[in-house]
Amino acid sequence: MRCLELPWRDPWPLAWGLAERFGREGLVWLDGDGSDLGRWSVLGVAPQELVVCRDQDPFGALGALAAGGGHWMGWLAYGAGAWVEPGAHWRQSDMAVLWAARHDPVLRLDQQEQRLWLEGSDSALFGELAAVIEALPHRAPPEAAAIPVGAWHWHTSAGRFADQVGQVRDLIARGDLFQANLSACCEQDLTAPADPLALYGRLRRHCPAPFSGLAIGGASAASVGGPARAGDCSSLEAVLSASPERFLQVSASGAVETRPIKGTRPRSSDPLADADAAADLVTNPKDRAENVMIVDLMRNDLGRVCQPGSIRVDQLVGLESYRQVHHLTSVVRGQLRPGLGLVDLLRASWPGGSITGAPKVRACQRLSELEPVPRGPYCGSLFRLGADGSFDSNILIRSVMVKGQRLRVHAGCGIVADSDPAGEAEELGWKLQPLLEALA
């Protein structure tokens, strides 16, 4: 493994320049907002190998990647749950269940210290990519075309969502559920294929988040030195994320961390009103109870594969504030049992408790009955699998799914026994509006 420090480049023009040189397809950028949690970015272009699962077991494929080594990045869709708890409620979308790319070398960026490294083991590609980066011009990328907020088609109206909240409350009252994360979706069909990278530039500027990122899939992988396909986006499918939530992080030694989010309030430009919103969130019994419920679920999931006594809650219902919203976040950690690895952990935890509910399997069944559109990669994960066996992933919330000319944006709310239907519909707007405004 070679590691070469290069002169600092702003990651956005750097990603754009490399995409113009090598094409969009196969580009993966696990980004961050420069905070302590979002300090590091990893960028890969022109992958050497792709793995795409649509009807095959994605966990078996991930196990093979982990065993084979190499640096892999990509997405795992919510519908991968069909290979954990099979059932008719797993409605698959037209996007890949697993899309993963192996890049060698990769670029690693420290956004706090503004330092940039090229890391890899392929000596020929290493030298070529270093030369390309050195020659890239220093200029700002062009703006993506604006998408008017009013142009989106809603699959679930605010009124319909409020009615569905009432249905979930009825299920809870009957003892069918304790909690469910109900989602809604809006869609946009453009007149021409979308450029995922240009759209992500808007998203990262207006909605920075510590576990943000972009992965662009397609029919084949670009190769270093191959023809650029900068203007051809017709066959691309992509995930653009401004997620504030980590799903699972696993160190090479098997230390596990998850950071479930439950509880949201909008930010205000008025400092007093903003402080009041944060205080209301921290002290609200409904939001705190919902967060604690998901912490218990995640402790149980991790307990299936972690060493007895190793699971601890290092932060319970802590306030975290982002540009658009305040959140309540908890931090749960554990240590994998000897002989168990990443795939065992994923199977025990998939999908994430914060975006499903409790009991998890029953919540997934009920959500499938209420939600009109398959989630696809939404509520799945963008992930990085290191050559040393380390792993990190987000929860794909605050995200845009791109398939050719079609864009989809989802958002969800955790529903419990005392949820207010109108209030939950309003919260849905807090989560979706910043994304739609960023793209506008």
Any idea which residues carry the catalytic annotation? 245, 262
Nearest CA to 214 out of 195, 229, 230 is that of 195
Nearest-angstrom CA–CA distance, 318 and 293:
14
